[in-house]
Amino acid sequence: MKQFIIFVKKEFYHILRDPKTLIIIIGLPIIQILTFGFALTNEVKNSKIAILNPTIDETTTKIVDRLEASRFFEIEKSINSPNDLDAAFKSGKIRMAVVFQNNFQSNLLHNKKADIQLITDASDPNIATMVSNYATAIINDAQTELNPNYQMPYQINIATRLFYNPQQIGAYSFVPGIMAMVLLLISTMMTSLAIVREKELGSMELLLASPMKPLVLILSKVVPYLIISLFNWLMIVILSVWLMEVPINGSFLLLFLVSLVFIVASLALGLFISSITDSQQVAMMISLMGMLLPTLILSGFMFPIENMPLPLQVVSNIVPSKWYYSIVKDIMIKGLGINAIWKETLVLVGMTLFFIAVSLKKFKIRIS
Amino acid sequence: MNLAIEVNELTKKFGDFVAVDHISFSVKKGEIFGFLGANGAGKTTAMKMLIGISIPTSGNATVAGFDLNRYPDKIKQNIGYMSQKFSLYEDLNIIENIRFYGGIYGLSRKEIAEKSEKLLEKLDLQSVSKSLVSSLPLGWKQKLSFSIAMIHEPSIIFLDEPTGGVDPITRRQFWDLIYEASENGTTVFVTTHYMDEAEYCERVSIMVDGKIAALNTPKQLKQDFKAASMDEVFYQLARGAKRSDH
């Protein structure tokens, strides 16, 4: 036990005295959350729009107010004539123009029909579609409010409900993704690097020649990274909840426990990598190419797995983060309990046991 | 028993390759024993077996009074090991390195404190005890590393090319430490590439192709091979080797 404590202490000296390691450990989660949260978001917020409203009346004012009040739009200017539209778009300042018909309210009252035209800058088609969808939704809302009892004689009403994330907030899907990515990187890459470094230095031989038991040796090498990973996990959770306003709808304890399972699986993976190579460079390559890329591509975090060709769908099953990602979404966003996630958790446990068994076997061969 | 190490038909095979081929020899207590051989001759493999980090294919040895096949853990507690490749953790300071090695050899906090004070005084390193090892010159590191390998007062110290890369004066100073340890009763088992260092040993064994080709005092070896220096002895033996580097 004393050996263990003194070893863990030494490991923390290594970590705390290497600025590169520190930056990765502390900086990575923060940078990821911030970039994904504020830069790489697929929501379109605060789009600047122009309004062309020839006859200002109660109804148009209401609609314009609603658009302005939403977090999606910001009214850049009012335009007086259709001729100015072109110039407004060319200035590059606005994404959309909302054009009301002449005498909008009186048309609506007397003819039961009035038109609004949404003109978007489709040089980026995805944004154009999204912006017009937001606007349509807001205008429809306004219409319902203006005329709650009105029903058309024949009408198919499509009521869409977006379960779990009605506002389509991007953070709901990237936070679990970042959790998987950061934990995997810290646990797997840092652990394998730390062990392989001792091999490269030659200190591993010295340690093996000491009375320290190999199992204690491995444990004391792994435990510091377990602690750091848990710290990182907590940091991500705090940042996501307070900064990104991502809820934890399910049980926090359950989330913690499955994260612990995932961390242990990643540590076991790191152990496995360190058992198959003697060079830090190779360990790093395996961790990055073998872990980070599949996590980004095959976990379902960036690209939906359902859309992939079948072979890739099959391959995605061996990526641990795929399982963890789905568990975290189930717990945090959908608020589901153990019944929904036990299968995925079992897969992770199975992977952990497999990697530990293989590394121990490799380790024994090495000594003999 | 007056023997520190007794090796009997010790063999290590990697597949078809016989790295160490039925070697037998013994080392007396307090002796400085030089273990020589060209690269690839099998001396590192033999040494790894003796310190318990490689399991022999066949044969046996008694190290520090314990059977190698049965009590490798007992042996580890009673030997020290220092290699040229790794001496100390560069990002730890001197005191932290001492505490770490003292700790993994199971020394108590009090013992470590006493030992480190003595050690620092002896090597005249008190003023830099809080400096990172990376800031020390190589010669100092090696002396410090040797002293740390001796911190648990082992009965045998294994040195794997301990003086690689340092200047002759520092090497001479390093050997003073070795002599001192030997005078205090510690058996010294040392591998080296420097033939002048072989002359400092009481007895020398030279390995060729996994076997021990010669074993005697440097003086006797020179006589037997009608050579003026150990260098020449080594050359005569190693010339016939089938295995060379890699």
Q: Which CATH number covers residue A77? A: 3.40.1710.10
Q: Which B residues 161-180 touch A at CB under 8 Å?
A: none
Q: What ipTM was assigned to the predicted interfaces of this complex?
A: 0.87
One domain, residues A212 and A105: no
**Residue where one domain finishes, among candidates A146, A162, A186:** A146
Q: Which of A29-38, A283-292, B28-37 is most confident?
A: B28-37
pLDDT over 70 (residue B103): yes
Position A43 confidence tier, pLDDT thresholds 50, 70, 90: low
Position B93 confidence tier, pLDDT thresholds 50, 70, 90: very high
One domain, residues A334 and A355: yes
One domain, residues A117 and A242: no
Answer yes or no: is B52 within a domain: no
Q: Which residue of A has its CA nearest to B93?
A: A13
B53 and A205: CB-CB below 8 Å? yes
d(Cα A97, Cα A78) in Å, to the nearest integer? Answer: 9
Residues spanned by the domain of B112: 28-38+79-239
Residue holding tokens 């996501």? A240
Residue A150 confidence (pLDDT): 60
Answer yes or no: is A127 within a domain: yes
Q: Which residue of B has its CA nearest to A203?
A: B86
Q: Which residue of A has its CA nearest to B71?
A: A211
One domain, residues A194 and A61: no
Distance from CA of B218 to the nearest CA of A (A): 30
Which chain A residues are Cβ-neighbours of B96 within 8 angstroms? 10, 13
As given in the structure block, the two tokens for residue A125 are 């088609």
One domain, residues A315 and A220: yes
- Confirm if A85 and A52 have CB atoms less than 8 A apart: yes
pLDDT over 90 (residue A87): no
Q: Which residue of B has its CA nearest to A202?
A: B86
Size of interface A-B (CB pairs under 8 A): 71
Query: Nearest CB to A201: which of B82, B86, B103?
Result: B86
Distance from CA of B193 to the nearest CA of A (A): 19
One domain, residues A179 and A211: yes
d(Cα A317, Cα A90) in Å, to the nearest integer? Answer: 48
One domain, residues A323 and A269: yes
One domain, residues A137 and A67: yes
pLDDT over 80 (residue A30): yes
pLDDT over 60 (residue B244): no
The neighbour count for residue A99, using CB atoms within 10 Å, is: 17
Check if B78 contacts A (Cβ < 8 Å): no
Distance from CA of A203 to the nearest CA of B (A): 6
A14 and B51: CB-CB below 8 Å? no
One domain, residues A103 and A119: yes
Residue A340 confidence (pLDDT): 85
Answer yes or no: is B61 within a domain: no
Q: Which residue of B has its CA nearest to A7?
A: B100
Answer yes or no: is A100 within a domain: yes
Answer yes or no: is A319 within a domain: yes
Which chain A residues are Cβ-neighbours of B82 within 8 angstroms? 206
**Mean pLDDT confidence for B153-172:** 90
One domain, residues A212 and A324: yes
Residue A252 confidence (pLDDT): 93
Residue B20 confidence (pLDDT): 93
User: Nearest-CA neighbor of B50 among B34, B67, B68, B35?
Assistant: B68
Answer yes or no: is B17 within a domain: no
A203 and B86: CB-CB below 8 Å? yes
Which chain A residues are Cβ-neighbours of B54 within 8 angstroms? 367-368
Which chain A residues are Cβ-neighbours of B83 within 8 angstroms? 202, 205-206
Q: Which residues of A touch B (CB under 8 A)?
A: 2-3, 5-7, 9-10, 13-14, 17-18, 201-203, 205-212, 367-368
Strand B58-63 to B66-67 pairing: antiparallel
In this structure, which amino acid lies at residue A214?
A: P
Tens digit of each residue's pLDDT (9 = 90 or more) over A321-344:
889 999 998 998 888 888 889 999
Answer yes or no: is B53 within a domain: no
Q: Phi/psi of residue B59, each to 5°? A: 85, 175
One domain, residues A327 and A362: yes
Strand partners, B191: B35, B160
Q: Please provide the average confidence, as pLDDT, over all residues in chain B.
A: 90
d(Cα A53, Cα A100) in Å, to the nearest integer? Answer: 5
d(Cα A187, Cα A227) in Å, to the nearest integer? Answer: 10
Sheet holding B79-83, edge to edge: B79-83, B156-160, B187-191, B32-37, B203-208, B211-216
Query: Nearest CB to A3: which of B51, B54, B106?
Result: B106
Answer yes or no: is B99 within a domain: yes
One domain, residues A196 and A54: no
Answer yes or no: is B91 within a domain: yes
**Mean pLDDT confidence for A252-275:** 92
Q: How many domains, in total, are found in chain A?
A: 2
Q: How many domains, in total, are found in chain B?
A: 1
Distance from CA of B195 to the nearest CA of A (A): 25
Question: Burial letters for B134-154: b for 16+ Cβ neighbours within 10 Å, e otherwise?
Answer: eebeebbbbbbbbbbbbbbeb
Tens digit of each residue's pLDDT (9 = 90 or more) over A276-286:
888 899 998 88
d(Cα B73, Cα B64) in Å, to the nearest integer? Answer: 12
Helical H segments across chain A, by residue range: 2-17, 19-22, 28-34, 58-69, 83-90, 104-111, 125-146, 171-184, 191-201, 203-208, 214-242, 252-276, 280-287, 293-298, 310-316, 320-328, 338-367
pLDDT over 80 (residue B184): yes
pLDDT over 80 (residue A250): yes
Answer yes or no: is B62 within a domain: no
Position A230 confidence tier, pLDDT thresholds 50, 70, 90: very high
Answer yes or no: is B57 within a domain: no
Q: Determine if residue B162 is left, alpha or beta; phi over 0 gives left, psi from -120 to 50 gives alpha, anything else beta.
A: alpha
Which chain B residues are Cβ-neighbours of A367 within 8 angstroms? 53-55
d(Cα B54, Cα B37) in Å, to the nearest integer? Answer: 19
Q: Which B residues 96-155 touch A at CB under 8 Å?
A: 96, 99-101, 103-106, 132
d(Cα B64, Cα B50) in Å, to the nearest integer? Answer: 10
The neighbour count for residue A69, using CB atoms within 10 Å, is: 10
What is the number of alpha carbons within 13 Å of residue A282 lying toward its C-beta?
A: 12
**Residue where one domain finishes, among candidates A113, A146, A179:** A146
Q: Which CATH number covers residue B160? A: 3.40.50.300
Residue A153 confidence (pLDDT): 56
Q: Phi/psi of residue B25, each to 5°? A: -165, 170
Q: Which residue of A has its CA nearest to B73?
A: A211
Residues spanned by the domain of A113: 47-146
d(Cα A217, Cα A10) in Å, to the nearest integer? Answer: 12
A10 and B92: CB-CB below 8 Å? yes
**Residue where one domain finishes, among candidates A146, A181, A213:** A146
Answer yes or no: is A152 within a domain: no
B96 and A203: CB-CB below 8 Å? no
Q: In sequence order, what DSSP letters do the residues of A229-257 get, joined into one string?
A: HHHHHHHHHHHHHHTS-----S-HHHHHH
Residue B246 confidence (pLDDT): 42
Answer yes or no: is A350 within a domain: yes
The neighbour count for residue B66, using CB atoms within 10 Å, is: 19
d(Cα A133, Cα A368) in Å, to the nearest integer? Answer: 67
Q: Phi/psi of residue B64, each to 5°? A: 55, 30
d(Cα B67, Cα B6) in Å, to the nearest integer? Answer: 10
Tens digit of each residue's pLDDT (9 = 90 or more) over A143-171:
877 776 665 556 566 666 767 777 667 77
